[in-house]
Amino acid sequence: MHNKSVAELSRELESGKISSVELTQQFLDRLKQEDSKYNSFITVTEEQALADAQAADAQRAAGNATPWTGIPFAHKDIFCTNGVRTTCGSKMLENFVPPYDATVTDNFRKAGAVCLGKTNMDEFAMGSSNESSHFGAVTNPWGLSKGEKRVPGGSSGGSAAAVAARLVPAATATDTGGSIRQPAALCGVTGLKPTYGRVSRYGMIAFASSLDQGGAIARTAEDNALMLNVMAGFDPKDSTSLDRAVPDYTATLNEPLKGLRIGLPKEYFSDQLSPAMEEQIRAAVREYEKLGATVKEVSLPNAKLAIAAYYVIAPAEASANLSRFDGVRYGYRCEDPKDLMDLYTRTRAEGFGTEVKRRILVGTYALSAGYFDAYYLKAQKVRRLIQQDFINAFKEVDVLMSPTTPSPAFALGEKTNDPVTMYLEDIFTIAINLAGVPAMSVPAGFVDGLPVGLQIIGDYFSEARLLNAAHQFQQVTDWHQREPQ
C-alpha cells in the first residue's frame, strides 16, 4: 500500500479493499521501522491518527466521504495543530502546543484526512538543506544505498523525504524562496507552490509574510491537485487571502497539451547550471514538444537581482515577525533572568539557532535608520522589476520551464559553513516568490544517480494549467515512480 498514490489509495478505500484503520496502521508501522534513517518527523501522533482513521471508516460506511476520507498524510511542523505541539523546527517552540488549528489543518480535518504527525524542517523555515533544525538534520532517502548522506533540501525537507521514502503518500509544505520546489526536486517527488494568497496563511507560523505560501508535496501531479482542492480558498482570518472561486484542480488534468506555449528563460540556462543538469531539463522539454507544445527562448532580465533583493526583504520581515519570541508570552524562556533586558537577550540567544540569528541581524540592520532607503526600499523596487519581467513573459508564453536547482542533492555538512553558497542553491526559485506567481517542481531524470527537478512556472492563478502540464508529462515518463533503494 505504501507504494500507491493518494488517488489510488482513495479508490482502494472507496471499494472497501482496505479500511482506513488498516492503512493508517501500515503507514505508522513503516514510519516506526524506517524513519530513524531519515529523521523526517518531529512528532508522530499515533493514538490520534488511529482514532481519526476509525472515524473516517465510520464516515465512509455512512456514505459521507470525500476523496480524502481516511487517507494518511503529514503536516509540516509550521502549521498549528490544536493540542499537538508545533515547533517550527526551533528550540524556541520546542514545547509549544497551539490551542487552535491553522486553516490548512482545519481544511484537511474537515475533509476526513488522517494526520500521522508533523514533519521536520529548517528552523522557522530558514534554510535550503534542512540542516538548521533544532531536532537534527533530515537525510535524503536518495544516496543512502551507496552510503552517502545527502541533504533533502529545505525548508520542507522532512515532508519531501517522508514522501520519497514512502512513509506518507503526501505532506503539506510551505515555500518562501523555494522551500517546496527545491526539496521536491532533490528528493524526486512533485511539489507545488501556489499563487501568493491562494492558500490561507492563518495559523502558519510566519517567516516572511509577503513571501510565505502554503503548498503541497506528493508523488504525482494528480495528488498535488487533490491536495490543492482541500487547501485553496478564501479565508477571512488571513488579510492576504484572495477572494476568488476555487476550480476543481483535477478536472483539467487530462486535457491535451497541443498548442501549449513554453518559454525557456535564457538567464536560467547559464554557466551556473552543469551540462549534465541542463541535458536532463532539455530532454524533459523535448517530451513536451512531442506532446504538441511549442518552445521559445524568453528573457527575465532582472532575474540576476533576485537573490540580493530576497536576502534583504525576507530577513527584514523575519526580524519583525520573530520579535514576538521574547520569553514573555509563550515559547522558550531562559532560566533565572536578572532583569527584563537579561530575559530578552538570553531567551533569544539561547532559543534561536545560528541561521535564524543571522537573518534577524541582517533584517534588523536593513530596517534601521539610515539604511532603510538604501537597502529595504531599494530591494522592494527591484522586486517590482522582477514581477514585471514575469508579467511581460506571460504575454508571450503560457508557462516557463527551467531547472529547479543548479545541482542534485549535495552532501550533509558540505555547505553549512558558507551561507552565501547555500543561498545560491535557491537561484532558480526565489524570483517566483518575489513575483508571487505559482510554480511546481516535477521529477525529470537523474544525474549521478540523484533526482533532477523540472520547474514549471505559471501566470497568476494558473495552478490548473501547471498541474495539467505536469500530469501529462507524468503520463509519458516514469521519473516520479522511481523510488530510492
Q: pLDDT value at position 271? A: 79
Q: pLDDT value at position 456? A: 98
> Which residue in 76, 118, 193, 415 is the catalytic one?
76
Q: pLDDT value at position 485? A: 83
Does the domain at 1-485 match CATH 3.90.1300.10? Answer given as yes
Q: pLDDT value at position 28? A: 98
155 is a catalytic site residue: yes
Q: pLDDT value at position 147? A: 85
Assess contact for 133 and 121: CB atoms under 8 A: yes
Which residues does 475 contact at the CB level (< 8 Å), separation at least 6? Answer: none
Assess contact for 92 and 351: CB atoms under 8 A: yes
Q: pLDDT value at position 419? A: 86
Hey, what's the cell of 133? 533544525
Please provide residue 199's backbone torsions phi and psi, each rounded to the nearest 5 degrees.
-115, 135
Please provide residue 137's backbone torsions phi and psi, each rounded to the nearest 5 degrees.
-70, 150
> Which residue in 179, 319, 402, 462 is the catalytic one?
179
- Nearest C-alpha neighbor of 93 from the set 367, 351, 405, 285: 351
What is the rounded CA–CA span in Å between residue 1 and residue 296?
42
Which residues does 386 contact at the CB level (< 8 Å), separation at least 6? Answer: 300, 302, 303, 305, 306, 309, 431, 434, 435
Which residues does 351 contact at the CB level (< 8 Å), separation at least 6? Answer: 90, 91, 92, 325, 327, 331, 332, 334
> Which residue in 155, 319, 402, 462 is the catalytic one?
155
What is the rounded CA–CA span in Å between residue 189 and residue 25?
23
DSSP secondary structure, 233-302, as one string? S--TT-TT----PPP-TTTTTT---TT-EEEEEGGGSSTTS-HHHHHHHHHHHHHHHHTT-EEEEE--TT
Hey, what's the cell of 160? 519531501
* pLDDT-above-70 percentage for the chain: 100
In the predicted model, residues of the chain with pLDDT beneath 50 are none
Residue type at 344?
A: Y
Please give the distance of CA 407 from its chain centroid, rounded to a whole number: 18
pTM for this predicted structure: 0.96
179 is a catalytic site residue: yes
Q: pLDDT value at position 161? A: 98
Assess contact for 447 and 433: CB atoms under 8 A: no
Q: pLDDT value at position 370? A: 86
Please give the distance of CA 430 from its chain centroid, rounded to a whole number: 13
Q: pLDDT value at position 416? A: 87
